[in-house]
Amino acid sequence: MLVHIPELLTAEEVSLCRQRLDAADWVDGRGTAGEQAAKAKHNLQVPEGSATARDLGGIVLQALGRNPMFTSATMPLRVYPPMFNRYDVGMTFNTHVDNAIRSVPGGGRLRTDVSSTLFLTPPEDYDGGELVIEDTYGAQPVKLPAGDMVVYPGTSLHRVNPVTRGSRWASFFWTQSMIEDDRKRRLLFEMDMSIIQMRMIVADDHASVLGLTTCYHNLMRMWCNL
């Protein structure tokens, strides 16, 4: 399930992130990749644990907390601290799948049920650099406005096409979901969106809204893994 989340960050937050990233130290991105992914990866990253990564990661986490679509699409249990990458001209990340388990800085592990990419560069500022995700509908190229985010299953093969002009900056991270199965998450997300649409047409206490909402929460009780 691919979900486009528009305007996760405000224009002011995007501007602040770009100012901080412009002054950041960038390192070889292969340092945070698994053995298979490192062979396919050619980009730059802000070091994990740096002041820039912590501060900007906090901005992203606050934005996630106020965004109901992110909650509905991912059913988050734990979120990996957001990371930040950069693709200059000629840089790319060939087709790969993300590691199933990530060691969380500070201790513990996280299962990467859902992958997220938050775009920080306006699409007109660079050529190439599309995130291409392979899902049940084929290869889906994604190139979004700055501040917009896409979430997709961590099980998906994906790549970043080579940048041919400009520089593409983004934040990326993973979510361990309360709902492990992507098919079940999709059903709950679609049901939640239908409930929201129905509430715009009829009263919240209408029998159809109450019935769907009851089904939604009872399915969550059956499927949640806490």
Tokens of 188: 């709950």
For 1-33, write each residue's pLDDT tens digit.
999 999 999 999 999 999 999 999 999 988 776
Check the annotation: does 168 bind a ligand.
Answer: yes
> What is the structure's pLDDT at 37?
65
Are 118 and 137 within 8 A, CB to CB?
A: no
CA–CA separation, 211 and 13 (whole Å): 39
CA distances from 143 to 77, 105, 133, 153, 163 (A): 27, 29, 11, 17, 12
> What is the structure's pLDDT at 35?
65
CA–CA separation, 140 and 101 (whole Å): 25
Check the annotation: does 206 bind a ligand.
Answer: no
Distant-in-sequence, close-in-space partners of 201: CB < 8 Å, separation ≥ 6: none
Crossing angle, helix 207-223 and helix 182-199, to 10 degrees? 160
> What is the structure's pLDDT at 34?
61
> What is the structure's pLDDT at 39?
76
Which helix or strand (DSSP H or E) is residue 221 part of?
A: helix 207-223
CA–CA separation, 132 and 138 (whole Å): 10
pTM of the model: 0.94
User: Hey, is 168 helix, strand or coil?
Assistant: strand
Check the annotation: does 22 bind a ligand.
Answer: no
> What is the structure's pLDDT at 216?
97
Would you tell me how many other CB atoms lie within 10 Å of the CB of residue 3?
19
Q: Along the 226 residues of the chain, how does pLDDT read in single tens digits? A: 999 999 999 999 999 999 999 999 999 988 776 666 667 889 999 999 999 999 999 999 999 999 999 999 999 999 999 999 999 999 999 999 999 999 998 889 999 999 999 999 999 999 999 999 998 779 999 999 999 999 999 999 999 999 999 999 999 999 999 999 999 999 999 999 999 999 989 888 889 899 999 999 999 999 998 8
DSSP summary character for residue 55: H
> What is the structure's pLDDT at 167?
98
CA–CA separation, 136 and 131 (whole Å): 16
Are 89 and 67 within 8 A, CB to CB?
A: no
